Chain A
């Protein structure tokens, strides 16, 4: 389903959910939960947003039922650790590639996805100072390296 323009701020988190439905349903679930919570704050009044959010809620309820035996879903504290570990794994993979001078699309995507998953961590509460810094760095790096590669420049 298409994300309404009013909810553009969560479109990449929703896309990340779709990309992880098979690969890691726990990540897919919490990305949807973030999109849901944030989407409700952005716009839950216009008909297109209400329709989108209602469908998103249906998906979340269904996923929670299907994954009820998974502790990362039934206990949010376990889910918090799962998302944080996954986000940092992507971050350190990309950081290692960066420090080794290996610049490619996959590392850019890893930096960017880690920043999105650090956003998702906000559903569990305020981000730690360390995670705030990781998020800022990952987002900046993904944009910087993307622009360098696009312009044929070597990132510094």
Chain B
């Protein structure tokens, strides 16, 4: 369960980073 939660957290972190880069026209 810990691994699954950690994977979800990483995926959401990536999503946030991508959305932030897009917001700032960096991608």
Contact = CB atoms under 8 A, between A and B. Distances in A.
A57 B13 contact: no
Contacts, number: 30
Interface residues of A, number: 14
Interface in A33-75: 33, 36-37, 40, 44-45, 50, 53-54, 57, 60-61, 64
Contacts of B23: 33, 57, 60-61, 64
B20 A44 contact: no
B20 A36 contact: yes
- The A interface, classified by DSSP as helix, strand, loop or mixed, is helix
A97 interface: no
Interface in A91-131: none
A127 B25 CA distance: 22
Contact of B17 (A40, A45, A50): A40
Interface of A: 33, 36-37, 40, 44-45, 50, 53-54, 57, 60-61, 64, 76
Interface of B: 9, 12-13, 16-17, 19-20, 23-24
